[in-house]
Structure 1
Amino acid sequence: MSASPTFEQLLDDAALYSFEHQLHLAEVLGEHAWEADLAEPRFAFTGVQPRVCSRFHLLGSAAPGPRSWLWGWANPQGYPQPILALGEYVRDFGQRHGIDALAEPEVPFDALPGAPTDPNLVAGMLTEAAKAAANNWTSYSGEVGGGTRAAFLVEHPDFTLPPPAPTRVMRVLQQGLAELRLSDHRRAVHAYAVRRGLSPVHDADRLTLNSPGLSATVHFDQLGRIENINASMEQPA
């Protein structure tokens, strides 16, 4: 991550590593529902594999009426400090780096890249940027009435990623690059490789990744987009 990243660069920095965390969360929880008590505070998942989070953090909410995102620390309802502290850290990060979307109490939908209109998409964008700023990676969002979407970062030992497996790494790269909206493919792959311990090595038009059982070369075209990925995989014995 550069000394002063832009909002869009934070989204690229978070994209693939966050994507893998969300895949893992879905596998851990299976079919589920969620419940939260912000006053207690308590955040839990119910269903076939219930979990009570060891910690959780309210980031904010995206509302269709005012067409804006409101950070949790700016909410006039005054939630408990422990669930707001991480959002305040993100706010301070935004102030230090001149990123208004992280620093301002309320962010109009139109102020975000692409001027999104869907509260779910808006909540996702602010959550991804917050993940990269705070280095906290598992998120959950849900409707809280009237089309408003609330976003949280959630923690539990079971949400921690296992060591990188070759097949999972390739799935993250291939599926993530196909489905996620990225501004800079090379930056996104490099950020993921660093966080996953894949020993990235740059060349003029390629990025080489290595981990136990995996050797992959990601080729980029002249515009910096992924052209192809050549990989050799062996499952560890």
Structure 2
Amino acid sequence: MKLKLFAMSLFLLCTNAYTVNIMPEVRTTVSVSQADINRISCESGLISSIDYASNTGLTHKTHKNKKNVVILFKQLDDGRTRKIINAKINMLIGCGNEYYPLILDPQKIDSQSIFLQTSSLESEARKNNQENTVKTHEEVLIDLIKSSRKKISGVMKNQPSVYFDNLQVKLLNKQNIYGTNYQVNKFVVIGNNVTLIEKQFLNTQLSKYPIVAISLDDFHLNNDKNWTYLYLIVENWGAQ
């Protein structure tokens, strides 16, 4: 089967807060809100240290449980003008037995939740990162769809169906792609005597996160086969 992929612009905006998952010892650039409070959570242990340069306008406060820290950018005031923070800041966080080097990139976006993940996922994340560096963006998305088709995953229970365009669409499962900001959501689409196109699934009921790619197994549903699988790649690794 020739794989058809409908890729969306990476510049789609989302009004919801994002979650970003970070691996240890991998320097990662993370877009954070320059105006709202951002949260960093240590998933496997306690936060032991937070290091970054002074006079950057960045402030932080660690929760008493030492599992979470909030960061906030202040506006710099030289007495004449107030400067909005927009320069990238290097940060090193000790979490559990690991260190997480981050590059915080302040943007005019909503608040971010950053999760410092366990090292058990590190090898898979490194493998994906290494493979993806030699691929084009479209090749990465196509390979994600291909691997999702081959992978046998459990079916999520009690998922409500969404109805539109004389179709019934139901979420089957979600697959986080470690080392990327992507998640593959697999749906079953049911209809009869209809022709499908990818664009009709740009539906906010199917994902509250930016959709970067869409793929269908079949484009024609009839009496012989009235269902097919739909794959959405969303640009949020921590989406639930």
For the criterion TM > 0.5, the same-fold answer is no
Instruction: Please tell me the TM-score bracket, short chain as reference.
Output: under 0.3
Higher strand share: 2
TM score, norm. by length of structure 2: 0.26
TM score, norm. by length of structure 1: 0.26
- Larger Cα-atom Rg: 2
